[in-house]
Structures are given as C-alpha cells and as structure tokens.
Amino acid sequence: MSAPDDDLPGQGLGLALPRFEAGWVWLCGAGPGDPGLLTLHALNGLRQADVLVYDALVGPDILGLARPGAVLEYAGKRGGKPSPKQQDISLRIVELARAGRRVLRLKGGDPFVFGRGGEEALSLVEAGVPFRVLPGISAGIGGLAYAGIPCTHRDTNSVVTFLTGHDATGATPDGIDWAAVARGSPVLVMYMALKHLPEIRRRLLAGGRAEAEPLAIVSHASLPDQQVVETTLGACVEDAEAGGARAPAMIVLGEVVRLRSALDWLGAIRARAERAPA
C-alpha cells in the first residue's frame, strides 16, 4: 500500500517526486553514512518501498526512515567475512520484483561507483524487470569533504583518480597500471584499500611517488565516530596501525591532504562543542 501523498518527501516543497510502482526496483545510493546526505529521491524511495535490500554500509539511522511495515533484508558484503554471492543478491532482487514488491536496493555511497550497481542493473535488464537509478553521494567525494579534504583544488590538481584497492578476487588489482597512475594523477582516492595498503604503497613508490607525499586515511567517514589519520605515503602502513585506522575507510594521496589543516570544519565544530559551558 502506497504512502499518502502528504507523507512523501517533496510534497510540501512543490516537487513532483516519482511514485514507486509495484514490481519495480530502485537502485539507490545511501551516501557515505550521515542520513543528512540522503537525496530526496532516496528518502522518497524509503517512504514507499515494500522491501529494502540493503548493504553493510547502510546504517540503522537510514534504515529507520523506511515506511512502517517495510521488510528489511540484509545483503551486505564485507571483505574477509561470510557474505552472500552477488549472483544470489541479483536473483533475490528479481524474485521480489516479480512477486509485485516495490524493491529498494539500498547501497552505501553511489550504486555505480564501486558498488556493483551496474551488475545488478544488467541482471534486471536481462530479467525484464523495470528499474530506476537513484544516484548517491560517493564516499570518495562526500566522505573526504567531511574530513576537510577537497578532491580538487586549482592550486594543486585539475585531475583526480578514483580506484579500488581490491579486485573481484579480493586481491590488489593487477588490472590497474599502477606505474601510469602514479605518474599521471596528482591525487588518488582509494576505496577499500586499507587491507592491501602495504602492497599499494610498494607499487606507488615503485611508480615514482615520493615517500613524503601527504596521505590521509578517513575511517567511518561522515559518521559520529569518523576518524582521520594524517600521514605520508612512506609511513602510512605503520601510522595506520598505530592510529587505529579501521575499515570502512577512504584513502587519499596528494597535496590536497595538506589543506585539511585549514579546512577541517567538522573538527572545528567538535572542538567548539567541547569548549562550550555545560
């Protein structure tokens, strides 16, 4: 049963957001974690979906925005832990849609940025299931912004490269030309790279990056327990361990990291709150 129109996001703003039809799948990005970074389209989907098939990086505050009575199905994949196979997830989404459910496939960040959303969309095409894509704020952009690190700045870089730290087998990707990346991109933003950081460091140094180049590791980006370890490429492995860096984490390498000393707006807010009288 659909939510009343006055319960849907955008109604009071004069926005005509789409109605979620039975038998459809919406592939939705939930952003890096802070519920405030959800799009209106994402909230609209949450308020109408019959079933949420959600990933490990979608937190309880976001799941709590689902309409009453919605079914929550976990389909998270975490490195090194038992996880559902991608084929099984895709088949389950198709099965639910064919049963006439309104299926919200909720993924952390953006569904098409290292999120396997493209694979799931192709499965829906093959099955003849109608779908909509709701982009989300990728952690490689929004998460770094919460750490006070811009992806680009005209004084440092006009190029940024996004890459994943592991391939489909869980190993450091051999399909990446690490030497070319090291030479050609002044800023590297790495997803899911913490586990393989020693090997990634080795390959980047071999490709010509300097040991003294600044690097930051942002754990649990945009969440209340966000943690940032600022270090260098040469010392990143040891500092990550000493600083307690933990997955999920974004890693950024390049001169933009130095801007954090001035742009750490979230740290300034927290410091102001700590100084405020009780």
Q: Which two tokens stand for residue 216?
A: 């930051």
The 8-class DSSP code of residue 142 comes to I
The values of phi and psi at residue 103, to 5°, are -105, 120
Asked if residue 250 lies in contact with residue 273, where contact means CB atoms within 8 angstroms, the answer is no
Q: What are the residue ranges of helices labelled H in the chain?
A: 40-48, 60-63, 86-98, 117-127, 144-146, 178-184, 197-206, 236-242, 260-263, 265-275
- Active-site positions read 55, 77, 192
* Tokens 């071999």 found at: 206
Q: How far apart are CA 27 and CA 160, in angstroms?
A: 26
